[in-house]
């Protein structure tokens, strides 16, 4: 299996790391506005924000979630992000709490200069999320944003190699990951985080760029680990990981045409073409 020779398709991507406040949409959207504008002023063409960035993460109960979740598109945060994308001529991927009738999803929205472009609903729910959210039911869509093809995953989705593999098979060259990483068992004695190890492995084994935007801080007793990063299709970080506890913007220029090319490891081996689909179940 070989990929066609592709011309350069460069863009600058940003991972925004900050601390949302639970239940304070006005504060969170103001922080998003400030940091997205700064990222764009520094050259960003596409910006990734954390999981549930507009609401916070640790809900007390479904009643609290119901007061914060919104329709996507159509809700206030979705409208704000769409307007911001149009004003700044930038693509944004941001985690949102979505309401669809009486059902709630841990979702991410994609907006661009044209406004709303699409959404993804988290497939794999972590811990207490199972009390409040339904598992995603939109599959693993890939969005053509003009310069290339973008997929989305959210946090715990990254523990499942099938997510990145299917997105790559669906044509994704860049995967955006809004996330709220928490400490994993046994991580205390290690300098690297399991989340970053899995991200680097997924980027390498699928030949894709991955942008992970994590949050920081402690919310209702739950600490978050930061360590946002941007990884190239050969599996090595292009920038990051970020700190564990500081607001940061990571920026990297990437060439989307290098993703398909990186899958050809030599004259004989191709990361997607060598798959033994006659054996896998």
Residue 1: pLDDT above 60?
Answer: no
Return the structure tokens found at 115: 């406004």
The answer to whether domain 10-262 has CATH 3.40.50.720 is no
Residues 51, 70, 173, 248: which is the catalytic one? 51
Report the percentage of the chain scoring pLDDT > 70.
Answer: 98
pLDDT of residue 87: 98
pLDDT of residue 4: 47
Residues 19, 70, 94, 155: which is the catalytic one? 155
The answer to whether the CB of 204 falls within 8 A of the CB of 235 is: yes
What's the pLDDT tens digit per position in 86-116?
Answer: 999 999 999 999 999 999 999 999 999 999 9
Rounded mean pLDDT, 8-14: 94
pLDDT of residue 6: 54
What's the pLDDT tens digit per position in 188-221?
Answer: 778 899 999 999 999 999 999 999 999 999 999 9
Residue 274: pLDDT above 60?
Answer: yes
- What is the Cα Rg of the chain in Å? 18
The answer to whether the CB of 272 falls within 8 A of the CB of 263 is: yes
Residue 5: pLDDT above 70?
Answer: no
Rounded mean pLDDT, 62-78: 97
pLDDT of residue 187: 80
pLDDT of residue 231: 98
Indicate if 122 belongs to the active site.
yes
Mean pLDDT for the chain? 95
Return the structure tokens found at 100: 């669809």
Q: Which residues pair with 99 in a beta bridge?
A: 104
Return the structure tokens found at 236: 């090595």
Dmax over CA atoms of the chain, in Å, equals 58
The answer to whether the CB of 24 falls within 8 A of the CB of 220 is: no
Indicate if 51 belongs to the active site.
yes
Return the structure tokens found at 129: 């999320």
pLDDT band at 260 (very low <50, low <70, confident <90, very high): confident
pLDDT of residue 2: 44
Residues 19, 94, 122, 173: which is the catalytic one? 122
């Amino acid at each position: 299996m070989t990929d066609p020779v592709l011309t350069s398709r460069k863009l600058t991507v940003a991972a925004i790391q900050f601390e949302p406040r639970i239940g304070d949409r006005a504060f969170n959207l103001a922080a998003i506005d400030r940091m997205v504008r700064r990222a764009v002023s520094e050259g960003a063409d596409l910006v990734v924000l954390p999981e549930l960035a507009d609401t916070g993460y640790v809900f007390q109960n479904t009643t609290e979630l119901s007061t914060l979740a919104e329709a996507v598109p159509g809700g206030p945060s979705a409208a704000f992000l769409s307007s911001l994308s149009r004003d700044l001529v930038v693509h944004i991927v941001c985690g949102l709490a979505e309401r669809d009738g009486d059902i709630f999803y841990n979702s991410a929205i994609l907006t661009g200069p044209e406004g709303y472009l699409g959404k993804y609903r988290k497939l794999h729910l972590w811990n207490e999320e199972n009390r409040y959210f339904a598992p995603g039911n939109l599959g693993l869509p890939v969005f053509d944003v003009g310069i290339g093809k973008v997929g989305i995953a959210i946090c715990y989705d990254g523990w499942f190699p099938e997510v990145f593999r299917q997105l790559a098979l669906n044509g994704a060259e860049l995967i955006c990951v809004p996330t709220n990483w928490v400490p994993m068992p046994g991580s205390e004695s290690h300098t690297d985080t399991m989340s970053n190890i899995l991200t680097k492995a997924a980027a390498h084994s699928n030949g894709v760029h991955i942008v992970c935007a994590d949050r920081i801080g402690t919310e209702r007793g739950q600490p978050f680990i930061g360590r946002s990063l941007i990884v190239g299709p050969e599996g090595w970080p292009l920038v990051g990981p970020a700190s564990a506890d500081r607001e940061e913007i990571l920026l990297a220029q990437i060439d989307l045409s290098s993703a398909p090319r990186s899958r050809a490891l030599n004259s004989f081996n191709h990361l997607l073409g060598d798959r033994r689909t006659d054996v896998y179940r």
